[in-house]
Amino acid sequence: MTSPAPVVLVFLDPDFPDGRVADASKPQLLVTDLGVTRGDGVFETMLAVGGEVRKMQAHLDRLGSSAEALDLDIPGQDAWRRAIAAAVARHRSENPPANPATDELVVKLVVSRGVEGAPAPTAWVQASPAGAAGRRQRETGIDVIFLDRGYDSDVAERAPWLLLGAKTLSYAVNMAALRYAHKQGADDVIFLSSNGRVLEGPTSTVLLAHVEESGTGTRVKRLITPQLDSGILPGTSQGALFTAAKAAGWELGYGPLEPQDLLDADAVWLISSVRLLAPVNTIDGKQIGTPSLQKELTAELSALFAGIH
């Protein structure tokens, strides 16, 4: 039996400026906490490489937007920054990495509404080692399937109470979709709206690329993602990569996208903060693009993404 991965917990507490360190091996939440009983809360997940947390500002901004959608009053960004620094430093101190410059930690920010009637939410930072599965998938690629999400692509604007653009603790559907995919022999899922638009993965953003020769014989590379107003979570990784790709000469585009657009693409990826850029090998059993071009584009975009902080 393997030992559990070491976890460091730091609770945001006004009595502790840098956060209150808690024992992750002991219970920390009441069973009546609304984050547990109703999934009433928000979270963000970041990657720290060599002790440096990537895209922290983008994640803090999105945490704030998600909390605002839930009418949840959360600690300020400076308090989060101090608690994050404390959690990462403590984890590296207690678990010295074999490669200090390249070790990867998953840093999760969680806010629960707390118990009914609580004067303030419960907020904490969790630091733990990154799993091997994510690294493997970014290197070997993934097989995915399309699944119907059950909403049309305009529902986010029509029904904001569905919280489709917020990163909430209510992830049961997302996890059920992944379990269903695994039972079908796939690694991941790309959700479709009920009116046939490409949306997102359960824990990732969809990207596709087209490479064309212009009339002057130069190579034109275009990176495309679904429309952000279609009821998907704005991807911090997608946004950062788009900025870097534009600076490197890529053309950028936003949907609407249909399933055939992905099947016809030269390359498709699912991108997220921890797994990073995972090339999609097949969708519903159909090969995407050509392996050599996919490998070339993946290497170029991964190098651009590695330079983002």
Q: What is the pTM of this model?
A: 0.93
Spacing of C-alpha 180 from chain mean position: 20
Return the H-helix or E-strand segment holding 253. strand 251-254
Residue 1 has pLDDT above 60, yes or no: no
Rounded Cα distance, 124 and 107, in Å: 10
Which tokens is 224 given? Answer: 């495309």
Q: Are 277 and 301 in contact (CB under 8 A)?
A: yes
Residue of 124, 132, 123, 101 whose CA lies nearest to 7? 124
Rounded Cα distance, 97 and 7, in Å: 14
pLDDT tens-digit readout, 95-105? 998 888 889 99
Residue of 234, 275, 23, 9 whose CA lies nearest to 127? 9
**256: preceding bond cis by omega (within 30 degrees):** yes
pLDDT tens-digit readout, 40-93? 999 999 999 999 999 999 999 999 999 999 999 999 999 999 999 999 999 999
pLDDT tens-digit readout, 176-222? 999 999 999 999 999 999 999 999 999 999 999 999 887 777 889 99
